[in-house]
Amino acid sequence: MSELATLPGLESVESAPKRDHLVSHGPEGRLMLFTGRSNPDLAQKIADQLGIRLGDVKLKTFANGEVYCRYRESIRGADVFLVQSCAGMGVNDALVELLVMIDAARLASANRITAVMPWYPYSRQDKKSAPREPITARLIAGFLEAAGADRVLTMDLHAGQIQGFFSIPVDHMTALPLFAQYYRDKGLFGEHVVAVAPDPGRGKMTTRFAEFLEADVAYMSKTRPEHDVAEVTEVVGRERVNGKAAILSDDLIVTGTTLISGAQALLDAGATEVYACATHGLFPPDALTKLGESELAEVTVTDSVPQDELNAPANLKVLTVSPLLANTIQNVFSGESVSEIFAGENQLF
């Protein structure tokens, strides 16, 4: 059995003994971290990792639904990082709130504004799949740039070409090493494990995941008769699945239909048990119920979007991505390489 080792990107940022509301960098540089209302718990964890306090910002919604923002401390000349997952309070509400925060920071003379978006909204609408459809992921990129963002930090995009929709830098992080470390710690690695791609589009990512786990690779073929509905048609590489623990990996889970039908197909192909992991768990309430009643041994997601762990099913596990985000923010602020955090393995498309 291979030696268990910490994979790249999972080292924590060492916390300072005394907390302030900013990190000083040279005579002028200041790092200031603010959060929107979509995922304040994650923002607080990031602040804890960095050893600072969250900045003071007033956010409220007027009676007619409009968003108000005011920074209650000076951010002039600071490197401002705005954490907003764009989930947890309504995708569109969270997105508009982030745009308002960016604009307010620009008008307050922030030196550089970085939108920290663990989940990038509308990421599945990255191309035209039918006539007269929008490419909404590109539209969102235009919104962020027009508002005044200088940089975007995001995690496990649905498609690599989304980075090309921007004319500003995009730092792409991945939770793949985090999941790999979690499964290795559970003893799920080596020749008795197979990493499974839910569709051919995840093939390259799953191959790298399998390398982390020193496991074999299998693929699934699926069709989508309608939005948010998936049907698995076959398992490609059934002989690699038989007698092994299968781990399905994806970038996001919404309804869970892909995982549930995939788990049944893998068990029919001879898998001893089926696990699933995805960076972004965008669960409607009925999806959690279905996952809890499914054949999946465990479903693992991150806190890139807020999770209701109190009402979650017993087979749902939530990992925090705050160390990855804190490391990335620190490196962006200090002008160091982001890809080195992941040993160059953060561009997996």
Please check whether residues 224 and 208 belong to one and the same domain: yes
Is residue 144 classed as helix, strand or coil in its secondary structure? helix
Supply the pLDDT for residue 230: 55
Please check whether residues 128 and 248 belong to one and the same domain: no
Please check whether residues 129 and 151 belong to one and the same domain: yes
From residue 65, give the alpha-carbon distance in Å to each of 93, 96, 264, 340. 9, 11, 44, 42
Please check whether residues 135 and 181 belong to one and the same domain: no
Number of domains in the chain: 2
Supply the pLDDT for residue 233: 57
From residue 321, give the alpha-carbon distance in Å to each of 128, 167, 173, 206. 31, 26, 10, 19
Task: Please identify which of the residues 18, 60, 204, 222 carries the catalytic annotation.
Answer: 222
Positions of the chain with pLDDT under 70: 1-6, 8-9, 11-28, 222-233, 342-349
159 in a domain, yes or no? yes
From residue 293, give the alpha-carbon distance in Å to each of 189, 297, 318. 26, 10, 18
Those residues with Cβ within 8 angstroms of residue 247's Cβ, 6 or more apart along the chain or in another chain: 183, 188, 193, 194, 195, 196, 209, 213, 215, 274, 275, 276, 277
Give the CATH number of the domain where residue 336 resides: 3.40.50.2020
Supply the pLDDT for residue 13: 61
Assess contact for 272 and 299: CB atoms under 8 A: no
Please check whether residues 252 and 151 belong to one and the same domain: no
Please check whether residues 284 and 315 belong to one and the same domain: yes
12 in a domain, yes or no? no
Please check whether residues 113 and 248 belong to one and the same domain: no
161 in a domain, yes or no? yes
Please check whether residues 167 and 181 belong to one and the same domain: no
Please check whether residues 138 and 85 belong to one and the same domain: yes
Please check whether residues 295 and 228 belong to one and the same domain: yes
3 in a domain, yes or no? no
**Which residue segment(s) compose the domain that 276 sits in?**
176-320
Supply the pLDDT for residue 332: 94
Please check whether residues 46 and 72 belong to one and the same domain: yes
Please check whether residues 39 and 163 belong to one and the same domain: yes
Q: CA 23, CA 243: separation in Å to the nearest integer?
A: 52
347 in a domain, yes or no? no
Q: CA 180, CA 189: separation in Å to the nearest integer?
A: 9
163 in a domain, yes or no? yes
Active site residue 58: no
Supply the pLDDT for residue 261: 87
Phi, psi of 121 (to 5 degrees): -70, 155
